[in-house]
Amino acid sequence: MIEIQLGKCLLFDLLKKRGWTQIALSDKTGIKKSQISAYIHNKQFMSLKTAILIASVLDCHVDDLYEYQIVEDQ
């Protein structure tokens, strides 16, 4: 069986790279700043729908939003 283990959210780095704030992302997506902060601090994981929205706005791929590891049971 293959499993995906999500690690650190990379949203802070992506925002910093573009010179954006959490407020700017909030304004462009309609996602509350407190929710964006929860993602950045790994208190919550994004839904697929939210990840697609954020990736679209940031012009990146969904898998750019998190560190992850693919683990296969043996």
Model pLDDT for residues 6-46, shown as the tens digit of each residue: 999 999 999 999 999 999 999 999 999 999 999 999 999 99
The per-type count for the chain, helices as H runs and strands as E runs, is 4, 2
CATH 3.40.50.11900 fits 2-72, yes or no: no
pLDDT level of residue 73 (50, 70, 90 thresholds)? confident
**Amino acid 24: pLDDT:** 98
Residue 74 clears pLDDT 90, i.e. is over it: no
Read off the DSSP letter of residue 12. H
The total number of residues shown for the chain amounts to: 74
- Reduce the DSSP state of residue 72 to 3 states and report it: strand
**Amino acid 67: pLDDT:** 97
